Amino acid sequence: MGALNILYDSDNYCVAEFGGSSGIELVDKQARRSGFLEGPVAARFRSNMAQLCSADPGEEAVDDFLCSYEALLTNSLHLH
């Protein structure tokens, strides 16, 4: 697996991709949940995120967009 590339990071969310993978990890920091998006879901996410970012949105608009993916965040985060 390649390097980790952070695509977006705010107080509420983090979006990352891993080199050598077409998937995306989405983390809700406040809810302490994460999900790995792959296949058509990841492709749609990338397309929608690119369209949103082309309009130069603020952090609140991006966080609102990411909130729409909360139902897919099924993994609990634990500190070790």
The reported pLDDT for the residue numbered 22 is 82
Average pLDDT over residues 12-34: 91
Q: What total number of domains does the chain contain? A: 1
Does residue 17 contact residue 70 with C-beta atoms inside 8 Å?
no
Integer CA distances (angstroms), 42 to 34, 58, 79, in order: 14, 22, 26
Backbone angles phi, psi at 38, to 5 degrees: -145, 170
- Which residues form the domain of 11? 4-76
Q: Taking 80 as the threshold, does the pLDDT of residue 2 lie above it? A: no
Q: Structure pTM? A: 0.85
From the CB of residue 47, how many other CB atoms can be counted at a distance below 10 Å? 10
Amino acid identity, position 66: L
